[in-house]
Amino acid sequence: MFTPLSEYPWVLLSFVLLTSFVITSAVIPAVIRVAREKHLLDEPNNRSSHWQKTPSLGGVAIFAAIIIVFTIASHWSISSDFSFFQVLPAIVILFFVGIKDDILVIDPAKKLLAQLTAGIIFIGLTDIRIGNFYGMLGVHELPYIVSFGLTLFIFVVVTNAYNLIDGIDGLAGCLGVIAAIAYGIYFAVVGVIWGTVLCATLVGALVGFLRFNFSKHHKIFMGDSGSLVVGFILAVLSVKFIQFNESPNTWYIGNAPTLAIAVLAIPLFDTLRVFSHRLLRRTSPFTPDRNHVHHLIVDNGHNHAQATTYLSIIGVLIIALSLLFTQSSIALSLSVIVLIFTIYALAVQRRYLVRRSKIVVPKRTVIAKKKVTERPRETPPLQHQTTAATSINA
């Protein structure tokens, strides 16, 4: 019988971090090889930030690391308030929907249905949900149906926001690591073992993935199979963090909802900004474009590593600023979040960030149109020459 590693927390965390890193690092080369042999590659288009066909099944390795490591760790620790197998069905659903979308591309409505299904199953099995409004608008305890619906909405929003921020090398991985570290530190301090283990597993898996995501010769993308799973896990951690602070405890944080928003500020703020911009232009909020903040920074002439570094630093600074208001009133801390978002929305605009748009952005569109318009004019003589050459050879 194993000795519970929860009695040796540093041993447990070291095991989880190292093992998830090793598994991800070992699985990804095999995934890249299979993807190239079977031509399961992401092809560049006019919205892409890359120019070469690249495997986009990095989520396979991340999923494998999370499943294996957290399952083993759950048997080597004591956790009275959570069982890993209660979250497993939701993760499996999102993984297979994501991998199908990476290979075949599926209807967004089906993706949304899968997210709703995963959220309903998870909330129903674990009862991890937001049950208190912290006095906002004079509301405290929420009715069960309202609590269930609000939590389900949060799962869908956070999962999609993280999925949408995965647009350049390293960004989704780095933001995921930052969020997991922030939640992991808190859960370790308050003694939520399963939360700490899940955060450590996620950090190890994402760091192992980032080695290849930044690589020039062995590059791989996270894909929907990874971003949907990681985004859902971050949503779970956020809701558990808020739920844990609904009642006073030793490490009680009075404005937990706003701190959770701060931890996921970059994906949440950017999704809200982009959707608002599209609605103001009277287009569907799901219409794809290159108006995400990472696209704007890259279109300004910066490379992916620089853009990822800038946004990661901003994300850490937002978290640090929010920590100064952890014991403030919920109204004050929300006002700070609104102010930060307003500054962010005003600063992140195409006319401010894209100074080289004539060189970078339209270049792909112009080239594509040129090929389309010139090809019909060139086709007849080429066909004539081919016919002639064929008759001579005959």
Whether the predicted pLDDT of 362 surpasses 60: no
Q: Could you give the percent of the chain with pLDDT greater than 70?
A: 82
| Predicted confidence band of residue 172 (pLDDT cuts 50, 70, 90) | very high
Average pLDDT over residues 161-176: 94
* Cα four-point dihedral sign 220, 98, 311, 196: negative
Q: Tokens 């081919």 label which residue?
A: 386
Q: What is the pTM of this model?
A: 0.85
Taking alpha carbons only, the member of 263, 262, 289 closest to residue 275 is 289
Specify burial of residue 37 (Cβ count, 10 A radius: 0-12, 13-18, 19+): exposed
| Predicted confidence band of residue 164 (pLDDT cuts 50, 70, 90) | very high
366 vs 140, more confident: 140
Average pLDDT over residues 191-204: 90
How far, CA to CA in Å, does 8 sit from each of 66, 71, 78, 376? Answer: 21, 18, 11, 71
CA–CA gap between residue 96 and residue 87 (Å, rounded): 15
Longest dimension (CA), the chain: 90
User: 3-state DSSP call for residue 23?
Assistant: helix
| Predicted confidence band of residue 386 (pLDDT cuts 50, 70, 90) | very low
**Of 100-104, 154-158, 209-213, 324-328, which range is least confident?**
324-328
Looking at residue 371, what is its pLDDT?
40
Q: DSSP letter for 171, please.
A: H
What is the overall mean pLDDT for the chain?
A: 82
